């Protein structure tokens, strides 16, 4: 009984902390875009609040104002970000299983399509080193150099929770010594100090010419968002966006200056992209989006997401991060079960769930504890 009370208090505190975080975020975006409270029809705001009020939460009108201001699409189905993360994702995905299924060191064990993932060279799982095939390694600095000697660039990533480019580092081979842009040498001690455990060292992916035109310094990725219907159990790829890094950066995330551009159903690009603050760019890194030809391999990527999402029975909403390598092969960099951003899509003119929004609200309203 006492444990249950403590658990409930802890969950409530986490909820309050998250609400404060999302409120600060939308206030920052709101101010940055210079939106005035009088910019939108109050009847529309009321309808939006009533619609999402079905989930028994107070609805901050600033979310609707921001999405409508950017896209000029006045759709009450826009999901407030705090409601998505604190209610919808929590009820559609089992967070207890999400960390395990989202672990990059788990992908090749769980999925059959092993060749679609980046080449993993060294893995650290709970403090123990393994090679790409999960054979035990005893690692010192000399052995580390031996394992990495044939590679020119490598990336080190946390095996879980690397969203937003968190703790992802790029190292270059300079005379068989790997150093980063700050001239830090890669050693076993460096790995222990900066990563401790649960990370992966991967070969850097050389991207296709098509993707490199947007920014050659970053591996630009395609985020595809899937939803497994609570009514039919069908997996539907709802959205695709191209994420482009800021020139000079090796990460494409919006929080380090990147932008996201919607890929339409016909594989053409939207005529604008947006950054973290919702600013619109019709041109980025000297590329005019309206002049870009049809995006390649989108259909194949969507088919892959359907196959992979079906295996993840504990998650109904997922984000898949793809790229295309220099041989024009699809590579799947990351599978996101938690904190799968929605501003990519809504700031580019699409509501998260579209025609499935009513069924999502009904499910979340009638399932108090969700899947956890």
Least trusted range by pLDDT, from 11-20, 197-206, 333-342? 11-20
For residues 282-309, average pLDDT: 97
Cβ burial of 353 (10 Å; 0-12, 13-18, 19+) is: buried
For residues 258-279, average pLDDT: 97
Per-residue confidence band for 36, with pLDDT thresholds at 50, 70 and 90 = confident
3-state secondary structure of 242: strand
Asked if residues 117 and 325 have their Cβ atoms less than 8 Å apart, the reply is no
Which pLDDT tens digit goes with each residue over 100-116? 899 999 999 999 988 99
Instruction: Give the model's pLDDT for residue 164.
Output: 60
CA distance 218 to 369: 40
Spatial neighbors of 38 by CB under 8 A, at least 6 apart, are: none
Instruction: Give the model's pLDDT for residue 219.
Output: 97
Asked if residues 310 and 299 have their Cβ atoms less than 8 Å apart, the reply is no
Asked if residues 176 and 149 have their Cβ atoms less than 8 Å apart, the reply is yes
CA distance 104 to 112: 14
pLDDT exceeds cutoff 60 at 69? yes
3-state secondary structure of 202: strand
Q: For a pLDDT cut of 90, what percent of the chain falls above it?
A: 82
Nearest to 321, CA basis, from 307, 310, 332, 308: 332
pLDDT exceeds cutoff 50 at 251? yes
Instruction: Give the model's pLDDT for residue 37.
Output: 77
CA distance 321 to 340: 11
Ranges of beta strands (E only) in 110-167 are: 120-125, 128-131, 153-158
pLDDT exceeds cutoff 50 at 371? no
Question: Which CATH entry fits the domain spanning 95-113+207-361: 3.30.1300.10, 3.30.2020.10, 3.30.470.20, 1.10.10.10?
Answer: 3.30.470.20
CA distance 342 to 272: 17
For residues 323-349, average pLDDT: 96
Asked if residues 88 and 360 have their Cβ atoms less than 8 Å apart, the reply is yes
C-alpha distances out from residue 36 to 78, 230, 288, Å: 19, 38, 30
Per-residue confidence band for 1, with pLDDT thresholds at 50, 70 and 90 = low
Instruction: Give the model's pLDDT for residue 113.
Output: 87
Which pLDDT tens digit goes with each residue over 155-178? 999 998 756 666 899 999 998 899
For residues 246-268, average pLDDT: 94
Instruction: Give the model's pLDDT for residue 5.
Output: 66
Instruction: Give the model's pLDDT for residue 26.
Output: 93
For residues 94-104, average pLDDT: 89
Domain layout of the chain by residue ranges: 2-93, 95-113+207-361, 119-203
Cβ burial of 343 (10 Å; 0-12, 13-18, 19+) is: buried
pLDDT exceeds cutoff 50 at 197? yes
Instruction: Give the model's pLDDT for residue 163.
Output: 60
Which pLDDT tens digit goes with each residue over 133-158? 999 999 999 999 999 999 999 999 99
pLDDT exceeds cutoff 70 at 248? yes
Instruction: Give the model's pLDDT for residue 162.
Output: 57
Gyration radius (Cα) of the chain, Å: 21
Instruction: Give the model's pLDDT for residue 22.
Output: 86
Nearest to 269, CA basis, from 281, 258, 279: 281
pLDDT exceeds cutoff 90 at 39? no
**Token code pair at residue 142:** 């000399």
Q: If you write DSSP's letter for every residue of 48-78 in order, what string do you get?
A: HHHHHGGGSS---HHHHHHHHHHH----TTP
Three-state SS sequence of 287-305: EEHHHCCCCCCHHHHHHHH
Asked if residues 330 and 300 have their Cβ atoms less than 8 Å apart, the reply is yes
For residues 289-317, average pLDDT: 96
For residues 279-293, average pLDDT: 96
Asked if residues 163 and 153 have their Cβ atoms less than 8 Å apart, the reply is no
Q: Mean of the per-residue pLDDT values for the chain?
A: 93
Nearest to 243, CA basis, from 275, 217, 203, 268: 275
For residues 217-235, average pLDDT: 98
CA distance 51 to 351: 14
């Amino acid at each position: 009984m006492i444990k249950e009370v403590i658990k409930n208090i802890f969950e409530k505190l986490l909820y309050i902390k998250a609400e404060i975080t999302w409120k600060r975020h939308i206030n920052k975006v709101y101010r940055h875009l210079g939106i005035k409270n009088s910019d939108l029809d109050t009847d529309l705001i009321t309808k939006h609040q009533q619609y999402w009020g079905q989930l028994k939460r107070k609805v901050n009108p600033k979310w609707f104002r921001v999405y409508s201001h950017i896209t000029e699409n006045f759709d009450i189905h826009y999901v407030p970000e705090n409601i998505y993360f604190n209610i919808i994702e929590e009820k559609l995905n089992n967070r207890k299983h999400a960390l395990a299924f989202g672990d990059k060191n788990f992908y090749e064990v769980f999925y059959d399509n092993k060749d679609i993932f980046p080449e993993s060279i060294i893995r650290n799982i709970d403090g123990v080193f393994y090679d790409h095939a999960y054979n035990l390694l005893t690692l010192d600095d000399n052995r580390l150099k031996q394992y990495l000697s044939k590679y020119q660039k490598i990336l080190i990533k946390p095996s879980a929770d690397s969203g937003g480019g968190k703790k992802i580092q790029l190292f270059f081979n300079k005379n068989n010594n790997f150093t980063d842009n700050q001239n830090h040498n890669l050693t076993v001690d460096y790995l222990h100090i900066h990563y401790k455990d649960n990370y992966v060292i991967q070969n850097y992916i050389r991207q296709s010419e098509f993707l490199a035109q947007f920014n050659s310094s970053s591996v630009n990725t395609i985020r595809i968002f899937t939803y497994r219907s609570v009514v039919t159990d069908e997996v539907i790829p709802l959205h695709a966006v191209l994420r482009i890094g800021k020139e000079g950066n090796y990460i494409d995330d919006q929080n380090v200056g990147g932008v996201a551009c919607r890929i339409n159903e016909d594989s053409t690009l939207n005529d604008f992209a947006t950054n973290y603050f919702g600013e619109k760019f019709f041109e980025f890194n000297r590329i005019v989006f309206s002049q870009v030809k049809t995006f390649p391999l989108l259909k194949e990527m969507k088919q892959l997401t359907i196959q992979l999402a079906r295996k993840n029975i504990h998650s109904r909403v997922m984000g898949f991060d793809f790229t295309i390598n220099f041989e024009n092969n699809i590579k799947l960099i990351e599978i996101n079960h938690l904190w799968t951003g929605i501003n990519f899509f809504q700031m580019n003119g699409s509501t998260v769930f579209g025609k499935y929004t009513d069924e999502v609200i009904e499910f979340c309203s009638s399932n108090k504890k969700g899947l956890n």
